[in-house]
Amino acid sequence: MLQHTTRTSNPQPFDPALDKSPILRLRSRQVSDLQICTYQSEAIPDILRLTQKTLGNAAATRKTEALWRWKHHLNPFGLSYGLFAWAEVQQRVVGLRVLMRWEFQTPAGHSLQTVRAVDTATHPGYQRQGIFSALTRQAIEDLTQEGIHFIFNTPNQRSLPGYLKLGWEVVDKWPVFIKPLKPWRMLKKRLGVGMTSPPPDQFEAYFEADIVPWSNFVKQYGSLISELVANWERQRRQVGCRTPRDLEYLQWRYGQHPHLTYGVYALESSDGLAGFAVLRPNLRYGWQEIVLTDIFLSQPNLQLGRLFLKNLSKQIRGDYLVAHFAGETIEKTLLRQAGFIRIPGQGITFTGCPLNPLSQNLFDSSTWDLTLGDLEVF
């Protein structure tokens, strides 16, 4: 049963032991005959029924409660902000607008409090009633009052026009770079010459033995990971707004995803851990794709980086590698030297909506320092 209440302006991280709140009615304002409600975890079953019906329920982003809690409750940046439209007569959720909390750090060390627009759905029987617009406008109003600086997301071509109508702007279409590793096998698969690819959950079919699951990597190297990441983040040239990386974030991002097993290639030296890369196996157009999501080195040294990527490529059983790193970074230079090329006509559209004044021009693409680890699988 819905109850009247007000929403707290500073949500606390999710604690399952304390999570006993009912579905809360946010305000009496109506959308058609519907009630706009604040998101609370008790609504998850109703929300999942809506998302499974409207967004599908397959692959890495299949709409399970485990994925939902990973995204919206376990996120180290905080509990997600969300609204949903509740149909009282039918007793179901018919509209949804949820935004993940996120943080970026500028090269000067300032923190930007942002949110990431990720989960939007409208029941087929309630479309064209203004639910998406009403929930989005209310979210903008609430988050602006809260002091959030910026909303961002990576919409597909089907959803992009709706965001542009609401005032979103395109920052850039980030390029994706590819390095074919088995071009003849790729050609045979494309021509259908008796070759098929295994699904991504067959980890060993994509990687040699020196690439291990994230959990194994953490067990082997422990505190060395934190030291290397902290050192890399201090030394590498940061060219724009970047997600702050530490072991807590990396554990959540790569170790706790309920549907994906990320692989890690580690390079050792006489001094210990010299670098590591995080990789995701994927199947695209029948090809075994390896997504290079993040790179960390003991020092921003091109010779070390070249050796690292050379050895990494030898450990890949997949057909090709893909990556994105910002221009003017050492990672981008290493991609170019390793033979990665830009995929023509392909890219990730990155859009934003400013909420509160900032000194940075976030619509200048050079203001950003992102990787596929920031952009994929949300």
Cα distances (Å, whole numbers) of residue 64 to 124, 254, 366: 20, 18, 36
pLDDT digits (tens, 9 = 90+) for 244-253: 999 999 999 9
Q: CB neighbours of 128 closer than 8 A, spacing ≥ 6?
A: none
Residue 31 structure tokens: 């959308």
Reduce the DSSP state of residue 247 to 3 states and report it: helix
Nearest-angstrom CA–CA distance, 13 and 75: 8
Q: What angle do CA 358, 361, 366 make, to 5 degrees?
A: 140
pLDDT digits (tens, 9 = 90+) for 32-84: 578 999 999 999 999 999 999 887 776 777 889 999 999 999 999 999 999 99
pLDDT digits (tens, 9 = 90+) for 140-183: 999 999 999 999 999 988 889 989 988 899 999 999 999 999 99
pLDDT on residue 30: 52
CB 372 within 8 A of CB 289: no
> Would you call 353 exposed, middle or buried from its count of C-beta atoms within 10 A (0-12, 13-18, 19+)?
buried
**Dihedral, CA of residue 66, residue 119, residue 78 and residue 231, to nearest 10:** 90
pTM for the whole structure = 0.89
Domains in the chain, start-ordered, CATH in brackets? 3-148 (3.40.630.30), 174-350+360-375 (3.40.630)
pLDDT on residue 195: 80
